[in-house]
Amino acid sequence: MEQSEKRGQWGSRFGFIMAAAGSAVGLGNLWKFPYLVGKNGGGVFVLIYLVIVVFLGYTMMLGELAIGRNTKLNQYNAYRSINSKTGFMGVFGILSAFLILSFYSVVGGWICKYLFEFVIRGIIPDSQNFFNLYVSGTWEPILWHAVFMALTLIIVFGGVSGGIEKASKIMMPTLLVFLIIIAVRSLTLPNAMEGVAYYLKPDFSKFSFQVVVAAMGQVFFSLSMGMGVLVTYGSYLKGEEDLSNNALTIPAIDTIVALLAGFAIIPAVFSFGMEVTQGPGLLFGTLPAVFDQMPFGQLFGIIFFLLVLFAGLTSSISLLESPVSWAIDSLKWNRKTAVIVFAGLCFIIGAAASLSMGPVLGDFKIYWFDPKGQVIFDFLDYLTANILMPLGGLLLSLFITFIWGYDRAFAEIRKGSKSNFSMGGFWKISMMVLVPIMLILVFLQQMGILSRFIG
Ligand code: PFF
C-alpha cells in the first residue's frame, strides 16, 4: 500500500484507545444494546453477552490487532500479504462495513432529528408515539439520514480525523459522565427497581439459543469485530505497545458504556410503564421522558443527543473509511470519488431501509432469515450483525490457526508485552477451539439445525 512508508502512528496509547474505542462505542451501545436486552429476556441476555465479551471479545480483538501491527497494512492488504489467497477476507469485511453504514446512518438521522427537536422545542411530549409516527414518515427521516451521511462524508473527506481524535478525548469521558447522571435519575424514578431486577437478575426460563445468537451478534457489532476495522487500527500501533492490554481495555470501555446505557434506559421503561420488548424505539421513547423529569431537562437533552451523535459519527467514519481506503489502494480511485460513490450508495440503500419502517416499503419482506419475513431495515441489521460479522470471526480464527500460525501470532503478541503474555494459553485455546465452536453452533442455530435436536 502506497502509504506504507509514511504511515502515521498513534501519538499516544491514550490516543489509540480513544480512536479504537471511538469506533467501538456508538449507536450499538446506546441504542441497540438496551433494546436487545428488552427483546431477549433481560438479565439472561446481559449475562450471555458478558460471557461472550470475555471469551470471544478479548480473543478476537487481540487477533485482529496482531495481524494489523504485524503487517502494517490495512485490512484488505494485510490478509493478502500473509497469503495471496486470503485477500477475500478483507473484501468481506468491507462489504459488511458498507451494509452496516447504510442502516446505521438512518439511526444516526433519528439522533439528529431528536437533537433538533430538543434545541427547538425543548421537550418531546409522548415520545413513544412521536417516535413511531416519525420513523414511519416518508421524507423527513430520509432527510435526516442524508444529514448524518453528509456529516460522515465531510469528516472522511477532509481527513480531519486528527481533530476527531482530539475531540474524542473530551467527548468520550463526557459521555460517560452524562450517562452516569442519567442512570442515577433513571434509577431513582418510582418503581425503577423492577427494571433493575429485570436487567440484572437472569431469568433462565427466558434462555434460548436465539438469545445466544442475538448476544453474539451484538458483541461483534458493538466491538466492531469480524470485519477487519481493528486490523487497520492495529496497523498504526507501535511495536512496543502491549497488545494484550489494549485487547482488554477496549472491550472493557465498550461494555461499561453499554451497561450504563442499560441503566439509563431500562429502569425508566419500567417506571413509565412502557413496553420493554418494543425494539428499536426504546431509547427514543424513553429518554425524553426521563429528561422531562430532570431539572434543566432541555439542556440535558441537547447535550446528551449531541454526545450520542458524536459517538455515532466516530463509528460511522470508521465504517465509511473501510470501503474508501480499499478503493483508493486497490482500485486506484482518488479519495474524493471514493467517498462520494460509497456515501452515495449507502445513502440509497439506507433510504430504502428508512422507507421500510413506513407504508411505502413496509410490506416488502425478505424471507431469508425469518419465516415471518423481515423488512429491509431489519434484514440489513440481521445480515450484518448475525451473519457477516460472525462469519468474519470464524474466518479470522481459521486464518490464524491454519494460515498465519500460532508461532507467528504469538511472536507478534509477545512483542511489547510486559507480562510476557501470560494469557497465551487461554488465547490459543480460545481462538482455536472456543471461538470456532461457538460460531459454528451459532450458524447451526441460524439454519434451524440446532433447535431440531435441542428444542
Ligand atoms: N461498534 C459500533 C457501535 O457499537 O455503534 C458499530 C460499528 C462500527 C460496527 C464500526 C462495525 C464497525 F466496523
Q: Does ligand 1 lie within 6 Å of residue 224's CB atom?
A: yes
Which numbered atom of ligand 1 lies nearest the CA of 312?
5
Rounded alpha-carbon distances, angstroms, from residue 121 to 112, 117, 298: 14, 5, 9
Distance CA(141)–CA(175), nearest Å, equals: 25
Q: What pLDDT sits at residue 420?
A: 63
Buried b / exposed e along 406-443 (16+ C-beta atoms within 10 A)? eeebbebbbbbbeeebebbeebbebbbeebbebbebbb
Look at residue 442 in the predicted model and tell me its pLDDT: 86
Q: Which of 103, 222, 232 to mutate to test the pocket of ligand 1 (most atoms within 8 A of CB)?
A: 222
The confidence score (pLDDT) of residue 5 equals 35
pLDDT at 164: 66
Region of 217 please: left (phi>0), alpha (psi -120 to 50) or beta.
alpha
Handedness of CA 320, 324, 325, 327 (dihedral sign): positive
Q: Quote the pLDDT of residue 451.
A: 61
Cα→Cα distances 444→53, 65, 418, 450, Å: 21, 28, 40, 5
Q: Where are the beta strands (DSSP E) in 72-198?
A: none
* C-alpha 252 to ligand 1 mean position (Å): 15
Domain coordinates in residue numbering, the chain:
2-454
Tell me the CA end-to-end span of the chain in Å, nearest whole number: 50
* Residue 311 CA, ligand 1 centroid: distance in Å: 10
Q: Which superfamily does CATH assign the domain made up of 2-454 to?
A: Amino acid/polyamine transporter I (1.20.1740.10)
Phi and psi dihedrals of 223, rounded to 5? -90, 5
3-state secondary structure of 366: strand
Give the type of residue at 234. Answer: G
Give the pLDDT of residue 324: 87
What digits encode the pLDDT tens for the residues 93-128?
Answer: 899 999 999 999 999 999 999 999 999 998 888 899
CA 311 to ligand 1: nearest atom? 5
Distance 22 CA to ligand 1 centre (A): 9
Task: Supply the pLDDT for residue 1.
Answer: 36
**For atom 10 of ligand 1, which residue has the closest CA?**
224
What gap in Å lies between CA 405 and CA 388, rounded to an integer? Answer: 24
Please give the average pLDDT of every successive group of 10 residues along the chain, which has 455 residues: 47 72 94 97 98 94 93 85 85 92 98 96 90 96 98 80 70 90 94 97 94 95 92 82 89 96 96 94 93 89 93 92 84 91 98 97 92 94 93 93 91 81 83 92 79 59
